[in-house]
Structures are given as C-alpha cells and as structure tokens.
Chains A and B, each alone.
Chain A
Amino acid sequence: MSPSFGRGAMTNSWSDLQNAEVFLIAGSNCAENHPIAMKWINRAKEKGAKMIVVDPRFTRTASKADLFAQIRPGTDIAYLGAIINYIIENQLYDRNYVLNYTNALLKVAKDYKFEDGVFSGYDAKSRKYAVTSWGYQLGSDNKPLKADSLEDPDSVFSKLKTHYSRYTFETAEKITGIPAVKIKQIADTFCEGKPGTILYALGMTQHTTGTQGIRAYAVIQLLLGNIGKAGGGINALRGEPNVQGSTDMANLFNNLPGYLPHPINTDQSIRDYQVRNGSVQEKPLVALLKAWFGEHARKDNDFAFSYLPKINPSVNASMVKLFEMMDKGQFKLAFNFGSNSLVSIPNRQLVRSALTKLDMLVVSDLFEVETAQFWREPGVKPADINTEVIMFPAAFVYEKDGTLTNSSRWIQWKNAALKPLGEAKPDLEILDSLFKRIRKLYDGSTDAKDAPILNARWDYGEEASALKVLQELNGYDETNGKLTQSLADYLKASVGTVSTGCWIYAGVTGNGNLAARRKNSDSTGLGLYKDWSFAWPGNIRILYNRASCDEKGQPVDDKRKLIWWDAANNVWSGNDGPDVVDKTKGPDTPEGKQSFRMNPEGAGRLFAANYMSGLPVVPSADGLPAIGVRPAGLCVDGPMPEFYEPTESPTDNLLHPKVSKSPVALILSSSPEIQKMGKANDFPHVLTTYGVVEHFCAGGITRNIPWLNELMPEPFAELSKNLAQKIGIKEGDMVEVSSARGKVTVRALVTDRLQTYKVNGKETETIGMPWSWGFASLSPGPSTNELTIAALDPGAGTPEYKVCLVNVRRA
C-alpha cells in the first residue's frame, strides 16, 4: 500500500463498506475472522451490491458471494495480472483518474528492463536488486518527464500494458486453476460496479510475493479510479486488536514511530539521515527526539541524534530472521510481551531451538502461553535448558486505561473497568518500573553510552498514566509546554519547537481526549462518524479523498460526497477531513492537484519508481551530498507485480520456467537441518493454513476459554472427498500430515469446500489446516507450524504460511 499510495494503512473504514457497489474479497475469510465486516457488506448487498470471493476454500464468506472462484494458494498475481491486462486492452479504466491522479504519463528510465522473469538490476550473488534503473527520465529541473499521451512507449502506462500483455485469461487458468471464463466474469463484474472495494487479510500477505499481490490490487484500483472514494479503496483487514497501532508505534526494527525510517550506521548526523530520507523527515525526527530527550535534544548537539541506535542495513532483523539470529546465539536476553512465537512462527523447530540459546527470557502475558514454558514442551528435557525465565502476570484489555487503533485507523480510548486480577499489572506499568530501575542502576555514570538512559524524558507519574503517554504521542509546543492542538499546528511549527512521540497522532488529545469521543451521529449517511473517537491523520476517515473530486475540486459521485473545493471561501471543505497538502490551496495550484500527497509525485503509483522529489539542480557549494524533499516507497522485488511460484510448489512457473520462484525471496538457510525443502514427488499436495471464528491467532487466550473450546475443540486437516477416497479415509479418521520439516496427526475433515483442480493440466489437491493450537492451555493440540516453511517476503518479512508442500496418509 505504502509504495502505491504513500501510507501503509487500510484506506477506508468498516462502516464505509456499506457504500460499495461491488466487493472483491480475496485473501480474507472475513465472515469468520472479521465478523463485523459482514454486517456492513450485507448492508451494501441489501442495496444491490455484488460480492466476489476468491479463495482456496469455499469459506463461510464465500457462501454469501454472488461469484466464487477456487484458486490454487499463492497464485493470485496470475489472475490479477490477467484482469489488469483486460482492463487496459478493453479501455475499461477511468481515463480522467488515470491521467490526473496516477503516474501513468511519467516516462520510465531508458535502462529499465524486464526479461525472462527478472527486472533490471539483479545481482544473483546477493539475491537482491539495485533499484537505480527503476526510476524516471528526469528533466533539467530533476523532475520526471511527462509523456504527451498514454501511448508514448516510455510512459508508465505503456510499460504496464506491455508487462501484463503476457497475462491472458487462458494462462491464468493454467496457473491458478480458475477457469478462464470465470476470471473474465470476475473482471467484468468488478469493473462494472463503481465504486468497488477490495478486501484482503493474511490470505494475501502470507506469501513470498505478498507485497506484490497487494500492489496488483493497487494497480487495479488506480486504473478503475476507486481509491479515495467512499465505497472504494483497498481494505486491509488487519489481524490483531491493535496491529495498526503497534505498527504506527514501530515495534519494528526498521522504523521509528510514525513510519520514520530507522537510522542506519552511515547516518552519522541528521543531515546524513535527510540525504537518504528527504528533508520531509527532519521535522518528525526532531520532534521524536524532543519527545524522548526533552531539553537534552538541542540544535547544538544535533538534537541528540547520536543517542539513537543505528542499524546495520545489511542485517535484516525482521521477526522470523530475529529468531534465526537468536538461534545463532546473538541474543542473551529477550523480552516477549503479548505474543506466542512458539505456536505462531513458521517452522517452529527454529523457535524451539532459538529460545534455548538465551540466558534469560522475560514473558509478560495473561496465561502461561507455550512460549513461556518452552522448556517443558513434551519431549524436551528441562535439565538441558539453561535459560532463566521470568514471567510477569499481565493485565487484560479492560483492566487498564489506554487506546487501541482499529483497522479504520480509529484511535479508541477505554477506561479501566476492573482492577487487574491478582497481582497482575498493565504492561505500561511494568515497562515504567523496569525503566526506572535500569536508570537507577546507571545513576552517576559518565560513560557516553549511558547518556540516553540518564537523559531520557520519562515522566508518566508515580504510577504510569496512559493518558500522559497518549499526550506525549499527541505532542507539545516545546516553547510553552502546552499540548499541540491539531495536526495542522504540528505541521505549521518550525523544526525543534514541537515534540511528538508519533507525529501522525498529532491532535488526538489536543483539545481534550478526542480518542474518548462517543458521539455516534452521522448526518452524511456515509458512515463517517467524524465525532466518534479520532482517526489518524488529522481525523481523516477516508484516505486520499482528494481523488474523489474532479480537476475542479468537485465530487465526481453525487451520492457519496466526501470533500470539495469551496471557491467562495477559498478552502477545501466537506463531510470528511480533506486529505490535501494545504486546505487553502485550490485545485488549480500544484498543491491542490495532489491526490496522494505522501508520494513524491503527488500521484498514485502504477509503477513503483525509484524517485526522490526536490533534489536541487545545482550541487551545493560545500560539496556535501544533496538533500531532496521526499523519497518514494519502494518494493524491493520489482516496480510492478510479477507472478512467481511459491517457494514449495507443485509445478514450474508457466511464464518463465527458468525463474520459477521469486529471485529475491528470503529463505532461511542458516540451519539446513531445521529448514528442509520438500519436492512435489514426495509431498504432492498444497497445504494452506487458516483461522476459525472460535479461536484467535496462536490461541493464547481463546484456548483458555472453556466455551470456545467446546465449540471448536481440536485442530483438523480439511481435504476434498476425492483425496479422502484416494487415501482411504473418511470424516473423523486420524491422518498424518507431513512436510519436509515435520509431521502432525489430526482428525480429517472431509468436505465439499475443497475441490480437486487442474494446474497446467494436472490434477492437484489443497489441504487446509487451522493453526491456533499448541501443547499448553485448557485445550492443547498439535501446532500446524511444525509443517510450514520459513520463506519470507523480501520486503515485509512475512512468511509463506499459506503455501507449502505436504503429504497425507491414514495415521
């Protein structure tokens, strides 16, 4: 999403789903995993909206669909590419939108190439791309050259057209198993309904090509003009109660809060940091340093930039890789607050082995999750494991004050309703106590490395107050100590005069605690609910809503008016907060034309080009490297989505058999005895994993709730009637499912929900397994992640849980 539109977030909201005319739900079984989505989808359906579901199984969501297609897991880009091709060939795109709000006309660099499944710039040794050739042709002003028409062979649009000309419905059928006529039907249905929205979840992201699958959605939605509109957008149904917020807060090795890039080792000053990341990041970075180090962050010490740790850019420490580093012995101490990696990480042998390498593991959780007691998993000898484990009892959501940010980016406040059970404490209090103790241990130190600890601004009261932390996120005017009133005030302030812990949250407590607002009236009838809680950024409910207007700044859809240019008063105004650069810059100004202001081009990106805006034409007199304004978000695996087979696949890539799999996928290989690879001869079937409505993620909470265990007592393997007959089993029999990495024995669920399908003429089977079980809790069961593979998306680091090869037999 971020390389396409500029922000990595669901574009619309739950209640906005009622405004759609057509849904493409692919990679999400929302009826089970996000039940509330169905409430709003059903409302749209009552008004006549059409619903398309593409999934490896006929899910509960599919049962409500007007059109369902069963797909081979991991092949989405093949059919989506065919839809892109169809839209372009038949001119079904929104011409005005494409010309005005996308980078379709910009000219791509002459040395950009795509040949035999590989983009230009590939280095086979490092398995990485150099992205320099993925840029634009620049004019003497360092701005991209613009073609006169979409037909110009150098234009982004022409590159798109050529790239997807290989994707016919027939080719897509051979790859995906969806009949060509059905793919055409999907394309026609989706193009006819305006606005149309796309819903996805982990079914789309848990692949080595996950990011590119979402990019394919972005290309389709930009071509059809569906982004920035009520009832349109790409709705990423995020998994956990605060996954939007925890991502905003950057519990990620490569970010700081508010999506700031993490400083790397060559960033020795804020100036260096800006050379890589653009001048636009200076203010939020300095504001963060002010929030963290207060008066110790001054202009004369480069705002304490030296206090921040700098990552080594050649080290990828994303979640699964972190366990690989742990297994190699890098970490002596690990904290684990609110997750259950021993159940949730793919190829769990890696986690089991890695945890034994620690001196100390610190767990904070409600229940004694598997990860907390890895040292007594059945089959493990506790005496052999020297890791000390400390477990903190954590308070539950309703036992503490604080906010959660939902998928609609609504930051919602709740007060503690109960005292924590027993001696449990909120994680906020645990972290606060811990930090204060560590600071005390360093009392009096004059060592430079201890200065960040001693000089940190860390004052949330005797008993840490969540509201005080939220106010730090909102930020202060550092000249007078008052809370920043709004995002606009933060944007107006000069560098160094304002602090914020997460700049996109500016305004959340500026004028009282807006996250606690409970006014649920909505005069627009569009489900915007502007006075309920607070949505980042700046209470905008539908992102990129400038694109819902025409060139004159007037809404293109009379029934779904979001914002408009009020010429009489010279201001952008409307039902929603205008997502514009400056509310006073009209549609005839360069700022007022920008519909995607977080992108350096100000436009939606069909082609994710390498580009930094605002680079000076004349080199600076002091000879220092130039600083531009805003860099583009990039996909490390290509500027346009390309179909690659999953890491373990039953077949070769039909488009380019020599480069069958993603040439840049991250496949954990440091421990070959842990990470074994399977071949289709030994493991002929495709395994896909999924969730069920009764259990949640790794089951840490739900497997300890008796009535959910009664509803869904144990894991199972779901297989087609054909396959069941072939291996001679019936419903309820025990089966052993095995991959190159492990095996589990579970009950068979024989259903019509999975059907045998043909891949390039060959009959193929998908087996489905829920994954929420582990050896502990009230309801233990085998973990499906014994089987899965630690192969990762090269950009996001998301594992390919949704596809690996397995065999199945009667147990």
Chain B
Amino acid sequence: MDVSRRGFLKLSGLSIAALASGLGFDPTIAEAKGFVLKLEGSKKIPSICHFCSGGCGMLLYVKEGKLIHLEGDPDHPTNEGALCPKAASLLSVAYSPNRVTKPRRRAPGSDHWEEISWEDALNRVAQKTKEVREATWKANDEIINAKTGQRDLLSVNRAEGIAFLGSAEVDNEESYLISKFCRIIGTPYNEHQARI
C-alpha cells in the first residue's frame, strides 16, 4: 500500500487500526492503537494557528467538550499536516493554570488584584469611557487659514483622552469592531503592533 506522508497523516484516525489488523504484534502498531484509543469518540475540528502569519491549519480533537489532542491539518494546503514546535504546543493553552479566568481589578495605589464580576468590570469601563470622553472632548481644531490669515474653527469631534491599542493577534471581526468602536466614540488614537 502506497501511503504518502500527507496520506499517512490523514490515516492517523481510526483507519490506522484497519491497516494494522492481521499483521501480528509490532510495537509501532501497538503505539498506533494507543493513539487510536485515545482519540476514539472525539470530534475533529479544524482551526488556524495563532503564531506567525503562515495561517497553518490545525486539527483539534475534542471529546466531551475537552480538547484532548492537537495536530497539523493534513488537508490544509499550506502546511499539509506539519506544525512547528510553537504551534504544536498550543494544546497546553486550553487548560493552562496560568490563564486569567475571571475579570480583575487593581485599585489605584493597591499592590494586588481583586476579582470582580463581568457586570462590575464592564460597567466601570463604560462609565469611565463616558467620563473621559466628556472631560477631554475636542469639538474643534483652530488653524490659521493660509489664504485669509484668519482663524478658522474646524470641526474635529475627537475624544482626546482615550487611546486604544488593538491587536494583530485577534480575529478580523474583532479588529474591525475595535476600529469601529474607536471612531464612533471619537478616538482616532487607535494603534497596534503592526506598526512595530
């Protein structure tokens, strides 16, 4: 049976068992069977790697809502099943004990975090956005008109006191909403790490 590398990776599901049957004992087959048992009953969900801009495909094996295995997506035309060491390690982000799992607040001058509810966190930020927007609103820029020498008031509608650092690590839809959110509340001071 001719199994290309790409084909082999595709076989890494249950069909390995079929390949192995009737060949007698072989440690590599035993290993493959262990792999099959581990993945049995899991759902394969394709996703995209979160590191460089390769956009490599990953396959997530999810069983009873838990991520149990992650590997390169053999159907993805860019990486054809391969993953670099960083991508391969993304399994461990799902349940990392170091993840932040609840909203937190650090009060002015405090030396520690306190956990707060989503409700509280969102309300505080919404209130503060309004407060700063009101306090730092700039309706006009004043310029000297080059032709007339007169002072001109130009309508600019800027919330001068709010900055938003967005991200090249969130989804397009999120990046877009950041852009839209900023301009609607009146801040053009929206930047992110693409610049650097």
Q: Which listed residue, B45, B93, B187, touches A415 by the CB 8 Å rule?
A: B45
A319 close to B (CB within 8 Å): yes
Interface residues on B, range: 35 or more
Report A461-479 residues with CB < 8 Å from chain B CB. 464, 466, 469-470, 472-473
A238 close to B (CB within 8 Å): yes
Binds A, one of B16-24, B26-34, B53-61: B53-61
Q: Which residues of B contact A387 (CB under 8 A)?
A: 108
B39 close to A (CB within 8 Å): no
Q: How far is the CA of A251 from the CA of B173 in the complex (A)?
A: 12
Q: Which residues of B contact A376 (CB under 8 A)?
A: 111
Establish whether residues A400 and B171, one from each chain, have CB atoms under 8 Å apart when the complex forms.
yes
Establish whether residues B195 and A252, one from each chain, have CB atoms under 8 Å apart when the complex forms.
yes
Q: Which listed residue, A249, A318, A694, touches B86 by the CB 8 Å rule?
A: A694
Binds B, one of A149-157, A213-221, A428-436: A428-436
Q: How far is the CA of A366 from the CA of B98 in the complex (A)?
A: 9
Establish whether residues A309 and B157, one from each chain, have CB atoms under 8 Å apart when the complex forms.
yes
Q: How far is the CA of A382 from the CA of B108 in the complex (A)?
A: 9
A502 close to B (CB within 8 Å): yes
Q: How far is the CA of A34 from the CA of B66 in the complex (A)?
A: 29
B194 close to A (CB within 8 Å): yes
Q: Which residues of B contact A1 (CB under 8 A)?
A: none
Q: How far is the CA of A247 from the CA of B194 in the complex (A)?
A: 7
Q: Mark B113-146, 1 if CB is under 8 A from A, else 0.
A: 1001010011111111110100111010101000
Q: How far is the CA of A438 from the CA of B122 in the complex (A)?
A: 10
Q: Mark A606-617, 1 if CB is under 8 A from B, else 0.
A: 000000000000
Q: Which residues of B contact A418 (CB under 8 A)?
A: 60, 62, 65-67, 94
B35 close to A (CB within 8 Å): no
How many Å from the CB of A412 to the closest CB on chain B? 5
A402 close to B (CB within 8 Å): yes
B151 close to A (CB within 8 Å): no
Say yes or no: A242-B172 contact (C-beta < 8 A), given A34-B53, A694-B86: yes
Q: Which listed residue, A306, A403, A410, A473, touches B155 by the CB 8 Å rule?
A: A306
How many Å from the CB of A739 to the closest CB on chain B? 18
B37 close to A (CB within 8 Å): no
B154 close to A (CB within 8 Å): yes
B107 close to A (CB within 8 Å): yes
B95's nearest neighbour on chain A, judged by CB, is A421
Report A385-444 residues with CB < 8 Å from chain B CB. 385-394, 396-400, 402-408, 410-412, 414-415, 417-419, 421-428, 430-435, 437-438, 440-442
B167 close to A (CB within 8 Å): yes
Say yes or no: A319-B55 contact (C-beta < 8 A), given A242-B169, A265-B154, A711-B85: no
Establish whether residues B195 and A708, one from each chain, have CB atoms under 8 Å apart when the complex forms.
no
Say yes or no: A437-B122 contact (C-beta < 8 A), given A391-B113, A427-B170: yes
Q: Which listed residue, B50, B75, B123, B196, touches A320 by the CB 8 Å rule?
A: B196
Q: Which residues of A contact B67 (CB under 8 A)?
A: 398, 417-418
B166 close to A (CB within 8 Å): yes
Establish whether residues B106 and A389, one from each chain, have CB atoms under 8 Å apart when the complex forms.
yes
Establish whether residues B191 and A696, one from each chain, have CB atoms under 8 Å apart when the complex forms.
no
Binds B, one of A181-189, A449-457, A565-573: A449-457
A53 close to B (CB within 8 Å): no
Q: Which residues of A contact B53 (CB under 8 A)?
A: 34, 237-244, 406-407
Q: Which residues of B contact A36 (CB under 8 A)?
A: 52, 54, 56, 78-79, 82, 84
Say yes or no: A407-B55 contact (C-beta < 8 A), given A382-B110, A412-B48: yes
Binds B, one of A77-85, A91-99, A326-334: A326-334
Report B157-196 residues with CB < 8 Å from chain A CB. 157-181, 183-196
Establish whether residues A453 and B177, one from each chain, have CB atoms under 8 Å apart when the complex forms.
no
Say yes or no: A341-B165 contact (C-beta < 8 A), given A309-B156, A398-B94: yes
Q: How far is the CA of A452 from the CA of B78 in the complex (A)?
A: 42
A56 close to B (CB within 8 Å): no
Say yes or no: A778-B183 contact (C-beta < 8 A), given A265-B141, A333-B162: no
Q: How far is the CA of A440 from the CA of B122 in the complex (A)?
A: 13
Binds B, one of A159-167, A761-769, A794-802: A794-802
Q: Mark A244-268, 1 if CB is under 8 A from B, else 0.
A: 1111111111001100001001101
Q: How far is the CA of A291 from the CA of B189 in the complex (A)?
A: 21
B8 close to A (CB within 8 Å): no
Establish whether residues A502 and B176, one from each chain, have CB atoms under 8 Å apart when the complex forms.
yes
Establish whether residues A706 and B92, one from each chain, have CB atoms under 8 Å apart when the complex forms.
yes
Say yes or no: A402-B93 contact (C-beta < 8 A), given A306-B155, A334-B164: no
Q: Which residues of A contact B60 (CB under 8 A)?
A: 398, 417-418
A338 close to B (CB within 8 Å): yes
B46 close to A (CB within 8 Å): yes
Q: Which listed residue, B84, B130, B132, B169, touches A240 by the CB 8 Å rule?
A: B169
Q: How far is the CA of A799 from the CA of B195 in the complex (A)?
A: 8
Q: Which listed residue, A238, A339, A375, A778, touches B192 by the CB 8 Å rule?
A: A339
A584 close to B (CB within 8 Å): no
Q: Which residues of B contact A796 (CB under 8 A)?
A: 195
Interface residues on A, range: 35 or more
Establish whether residues A466 and B157, one from each chain, have CB atoms under 8 Å apart when the complex forms.
no
How many Å from the CB of A251 to the closest CB on chain B? 3
Establish whether residues A466 and B99, one from each chain, have CB atoms under 8 Å apart when the complex forms.
no
Establish whether residues A396 and B174, one from each chain, have CB atoms under 8 Å apart when the complex forms.
no
Q: Which listed residue, B76, B103, B154, touches A390 by the CB 8 Å rule?
A: B103
Q: How far is the CA of A629 from the CA of B31 in the complex (A)?
A: 66
How many Å from the CB of A452 to the closest CB on chain B? 5
Q: Which listed residue, B86, B172, B187, touches A405 by the CB 8 Å rule?
A: B172
How many Å from the CB of A364 to the closest CB on chain B? 9
Q: Which listed residue, B84, B110, B130, touches A441 by the CB 8 Å rule?
A: B130
Establish whether residues B177 and A332, one from each chain, have CB atoms under 8 Å apart when the complex forms.
no
Q: How far is the CA of A787 from the CA of B163 in the complex (A)?
A: 26
Q: How far is the CA of A397 from the CA of B160 in the complex (A)?
A: 32
Q: Which residues of B contact A406 (CB under 8 A)?
A: 48, 53-55, 78
A533's nearest neighbour on chain B, judged by CB, is B55
A687 close to B (CB within 8 Å): no
Establish whether residues A331 and B161, one from each chain, have CB atoms under 8 Å apart when the complex forms.
yes
Binds B, one of A670-678, A697-705, A748-756: A697-705
Q: How far is the CA of A334 from the CA of B187 in the complex (A)?
A: 11
Establish whether residues A14 and B101, one from each chain, have CB atoms under 8 Å apart when the complex forms.
no
A292 close to B (CB within 8 Å): yes
How many Å from the CB of B109 to the closest CB on chain A? 5
A345 close to B (CB within 8 Å): yes
Q: Which residues of A contact B58 (CB under 8 A)?
A: 398
Establish whether residues B168 and A240, one from each chain, have CB atoms under 8 Å apart when the complex forms.
yes
Establish whether residues A309 and B175, one from each chain, have CB atoms under 8 Å apart when the complex forms.
no
A368 close to B (CB within 8 Å): yes
Establish whether residues B154 and A432, one from each chain, have CB atoms under 8 Å apart when the complex forms.
no
B89 close to A (CB within 8 Å): yes
Q: Which residues of B contact A701 (CB under 8 A)?
A: 50, 93
Say yes or no: A360-B86 contact (C-beta < 8 A), given A308-B157, A331-B163: no
B149 close to A (CB within 8 Å): no
How many Å from the CB of B169 to the closest CB on chain A? 4
Establish whether residues B171 and A518, one from each chain, have CB atoms under 8 Å apart when the complex forms.
no
Having A243-B193, A247-B168, A441-B126, one finds 10 other A-B pairs with CB under 8 Å, namely: A14-B54, A257-B179, A310-B158, A319-B193, A322-B163, A391-B113, A398-B60, A414-B48, A418-B67, A424-B99
The 10 closest A-B pairs by CB, nearest first: A422-B101, A406-B55, A338-B167, A402-B171, A251-B166, A240-B168, A243-B168, A469-B173, A437-B126, A249-B175
27 residue pairs A–B, Cβ–Cβ below 8 Å: A35-B54, A241-B49, A249-B178, A252-B190, A268-B155, A307-B184, A309-B156, A312-B156, A322-B165, A338-B166, A338-B167, A339-B192, A360-B125, A360-B132, A384-B109, A388-B107, A389-B106, A391-B103, A397-B171, A404-B55, A411-B172, A417-B60, A427-B177, A456-B184, A466-B173, A705-B96, A707-B89
